Structures are given as C-alpha cells and as structure tokens.
Amino acid sequence: MMTRVPRTSFFFTLLLVLFGGGLATGLFACDEEDDALQCVITSPADGAEFVDDGGLRVPVETRVRGPVSEVRFHVNDALAATLTASPYTYEFAAYRQDPGTFTIRATAVNAAGESVSDEITLILRRGTNDTLRPVADFEASPRSVAQDSPVQFLEISDRAPTSWRWDFGDGHTSEEPNPVHAYAAQGMYTVTLTVANEHGEDTEVKEDYIRVNAPLPGLPCPGAETVADEDGNVYATVQIGDQCWMAGNLRVGRFIECLSPEDRQTDNGLAEHYRYDNDAQFYGDYGGLYQWDEVMAYAPSDDGLTGSTRGLCPAGWHLPTDEEWKTLERTLGMPDAEVDQPVGDGKWRGTEEAHALRETGTAHWSTDIASTNDSGFTALPGGWRNASSGDFTQLGEQAVFWTATEVPDGWHTSAWVRAIGFTGQIGRFGDDLFTGASVRCLKD
C-alpha cells in the first residue's frame, strides 16, 4: 500500500529586498537624487499575475546615498512589516492568502525624510502543482468472484485526495473512497478511479481487472446427488461448472500401517490406503492417503482433456487429469495466463480461487482465512505422507490431491498434484509417486 502524504497548502513567495547600495534582489528600488530620498517600484509590472506554483524572486536595482533607517511595507493598506536593518527583505506568503488582488507599496525612511513608492497591483491565481496533485491507485479483493458476490475496492491513492469517482465498468459508479460492489453478470470488467483535491485530479484505469464467473451455488450434481464406492461408502456430489465432483475425500480399500518409508502400497490386487498417523479417528473425515500408482490401479498416466482412468474411484467415475483440474481452476476464475504458465517443478497460482474450494470454519482447518467454499467442493486438510521419511505432516493445514497425470520427465517418478493451503492460491506441483495424498474423483 502506498504511503499517504498529508495535504499540504501551496504557497509562493515574493521577496521584497532593499539593500543600502549596490545591486540586489527584491521588489522595490529607492533612488536618491541629491538629498531627496525617492522610492520607485521597478519590478514586477503593475497588474502582474502569478500562480501559486512556487517561490518568486524579482530583481531590482537599488541606489542609496546615506543610511536608511527603516523600510515599511504595506499590503492592501495594512502595515505588513517594518524592517530596520539590512538586508531589507519582506516575504509575501501566498499560502496565507486566498486567490485575489493585492496592492503593495513601500516606504523608505532616512534622516532626510521618507519616500513612498507608487502602488502596484498583484493578481494571485490558484495554480496546479504536480507535486501536490493526487496520484490515483486502488486495489480490489477478490478480483475473481462469482456473480452477485461482493468485491471490496480500496483506494490507495497518494497525496491526499478529497474526492473519489469510481466506474466499475458495468454502468455503476460510486463516490465513496472504499466502496463494495457486486456484479450481476459474468465477464471481465475494467475499473476506473478518478481522485481529486484542490490542486488537480488524476485517473487510474485497470483493464479487465475484475473477473466475474458463473454462480457457484455448490448444488449436488443433477441425477447424481450421491455416489457409493466399492466398499459401500457414500459421498455427496457437487456440480461446479460443467464438472461433477465428489464432495468428500476417497476412503476405499484396506488400511496398511506406515512406520517407515519402506511400508508401501503394492500391486497385489487389493485397494490399500494409509491413515494419517496410522490413526482411525482421522479416516472418516479426511479419507485415506494413497500412493499414485495405487489410486491409479497401476494404470499408465492419463493426460487427456477428459480423463478415462477409473483407478480406485467408483464405477462411472475417474481420477481427474491435470487438464481437468485446470478446467476447474478456470471455472473458479483463474486467468489462463496463471493456469497455463510454465511451472517447472511447481508453483502456487491464481489469487482467490482456493478460498472458493476450502471448507469454511475451523472444524478441520486449523485457521480459517477468507474461506467461502462458494463452489461446494469443501476441501479438507488431510495432510500428506512424506515419501522419503514415511512421516505424516500438515494435517489441518494443507489438502493435497492427486491428478491422473505424470510429470512428463520420462522418469516415471512424479505426478502432478494440487495443493490448497491457507492462501487464495492453488499449488500445482510434481510429487513423488510414493507420496501419500488425498483423492477426489470426477464423474465420467
């Protein structure tokens, strides 16, 4: 967030300087002929106009014979200053004045008497100063949102604006500094903020800044409100966009104890799973943790746009491919540039999409940060099993889900997973095939 700069009044300074002899800078000149002291204003010209954009110095020529005891300055007939020592400098500070017309005269005094200059008129106008004109900027959260869901806009402009004009790009506007707005239709929206203060205005435009997605009510899949696995466990379903997902973690197969890295699930014709910390109390809610080959039922990698590998999923369902997870992410509003970016070994992507997947509250998550579960996916933090150590970690802190797609490195050692933690981002990482991770199945 930008640092706020307190509003500062403009001023410019006219320096009126009278020196006893020689060339000086100032507003008035005194010229003595014989013993008569005479003051003459030589600069600026009568009727000169100024704007309050900065200081001003006007050069004059001063010739004085004999000492000057004092110089008096009057502004609009009021005594403004009496100076008794050289240099005779008077500063007219515009920040104390409203714009308008000012008359100024000077009176020089010495032993021979005094001399009053002719009056000049100065016109002060309010100018525009780029050092005090506000600089518009703003943020919004979330930037990817379901239709009819609120978006909080926050102005972070610099140089203390005093007025705001928002254009949300959908025909609606606001003059509040930090408005909340909900979009009624899907699409990409350009947002404009214009800020102003007494010194000027500035406009910030952010193209395609807000993405509004289809409503995500979290409703069961039509005609498939529940699904049962091979062991008879029943799962709720949820329709997200064009996809029908299981709304719970897979919990099928027989339990095998894991006390070391060598305790692995094997291709023995039986469905097998780990349980976090080998404890049955975690199995009912969080489901089992599976090695990749095991949940794939030892089928080869599936990298299609539409998956076809059933693995340990119920009949008519399959393990989602990496591409099908990308489809889900796009449905949640993740921009294509984030979805498809090269990630190497993995990366956290997106901005707010994980909030719509994560279960709300702290019944399972150790901390609830901005979770909405708008999608109804109800991601649960089942943690994961470390392939190298055999240890279990991050229960209550992270959900890790297998895809059906291997990382294409030719080594058959890792496959893509999706990770959901406490932020709004979704992680896409290549994980060791012997890692124990959760599973969500997708309807064929």
Nearest to 230 by CA among 271, 289, 282: 271
Sheet holding 243-246, edge to edge: 226-228, 234-240, 243-246, 442-443, 317-318
Contact at 8 Å (CB) between 102 and 49? Answer: no
Contact at 8 Å (CB) between 86 and 20? Answer: yes
Rounded CA-CA distance 29/63 in Å is 8
Contact at 8 Å (CB) between 166 and 232? Answer: no
Name the band, by pLDDT with cuts 50, 70 and 90, for residue 344. Answer: low
Tokens, residue 84: 């008794």
Maximum mean pLDDT: which of 51-60, 122-131, 188-197, 406-415: 188-197
Residue 57 pLDDT more than 70?
no
Residue 364 pLDDT more than 90?
yes
What is the longest distance spanned by two Cα atoms in the chain? 124
The pLDDT of residue 13 is 37
Rounded CA-CA distance 325/340 in Å is 11
Rounded CA-CA distance 428/417 in Å is 6
Q: Which residues of 137-164 are buried (b: 16+ CB within 10 A; e: fewer)?
A: bbebebbbbbeebebebebbbbbebeeb
Sign of the dihedral through C-alpha 386, 356, 350, 301: positive
Nearest to 419 by CA among 437, 393, 404: 437
Name the band, by pLDDT with cuts 50, 70 and 90, for residue 407. Answer: very high
The pLDDT of residue 111 is 79
Name the band, by pLDDT with cuts 50, 70 and 90, for residue 117. Answer: confident
> Mean pLDDT in the chain?
83
Tokens, residue 265: 């699930």
Q: What is the residue extent of each domain of the chain?
A: 13-125, 138-213, 226-443
Contact at 8 Å (CB) between 91 and 60? Answer: no
Tokens, residue 161: 């604006």
Mean pLDDT of the 310-323 span: 97
CATH of domain 138-213: 2.60.40.10
pLDDT > 90 in the chain, percent: 53
Rounded CA-CA distance 272/439 in Å is 13
**286 or 128, greater pLDDT:** 286
Contact at 8 Å (CB) between 38 and 28? Answer: no
Rounded CA-CA distance 344/346 in Å is 5
Name the band, by pLDDT with cuts 50, 70 and 90, for residue 35. Answer: low
Residue 254, phi-psi category: left (phi > 0), alpha (psi -120 to 50), beta (remainder): beta
Chain centroid to Cα 6, Å, comes to 22
- Choose the weakest-confidence range: 62-71, 190-199, 316-325, 388-397: 62-71
Nearest to 442 by CA among 274, 239, 290: 239
Contact at 8 Å (CB) between 54 and 61? Answer: no
Rounded CA-CA distance 149/367 in Å is 23
Residue position matching structure tokens 């496959």: 415
Rounded CA-CA distance 316/299 in Å is 16
**Three-state DSSP state, 281:** helix
Q: Which residues of 196-217 are buried (b: 16+ CB within 10 A; e: fewer)?
A: bbebbebebebeebbbbbeebe
The pLDDT of residue 33 is 45
Name the band, by pLDDT with cuts 50, 70 and 90, for residue 96. Answer: low
The pLDDT of residue 357 is 94
The CATH class that applies to domain 13-125 reads mainly beta
How many residues are there in the chain?
444
pLDDT digit string (tens) for 150-162? 889 999 999 889 9
Chain centroid to Cα 360, Å, comes to 23
pLDDT digit string (tens) for 282-297? 998 999 999 999 999 9
Residues forming beta bridges with residue 49, ordered by sequence position = 123
Mean pLDDT of the 50-64 span: 48
Rounded CA-CA distance 72/67 in Å is 15
**14 or 70, greater pLDDT:** 70
Contact at 8 Å (CB) between 414 and 406? Answer: yes
* Omega of the bond leading into 87 within 30 degrees of 0 (cis): yes
The pLDDT of residue 39 is 66
**Three-state DSSP state, 435:** coil
Mean pLDDT of the 71-97 span: 76
Rounded CA-CA distance 369/149 in Å is 17
Write phi, then psi, for 138 (nearest 5 degrees): -160, 165
pLDDT > 70 in the chain, percent: 82
pLDDT digit string (tens) for 241-278? 889 999 999 999 999 999 999 999 999 999 999 999 99
The pLDDT of residue 341 is 75
Question: Exposed/middle/buried for 328, CB within 10 Å: 0-12, 13-18, 19+?
Answer: buried
Residue 26 pLDDT more than 80?
no
The pLDDT of residue 113 is 83
Rounded CA-CA distance 240/146 in Å is 12
Nearest to 428 by CA among 401, 408, 410: 401
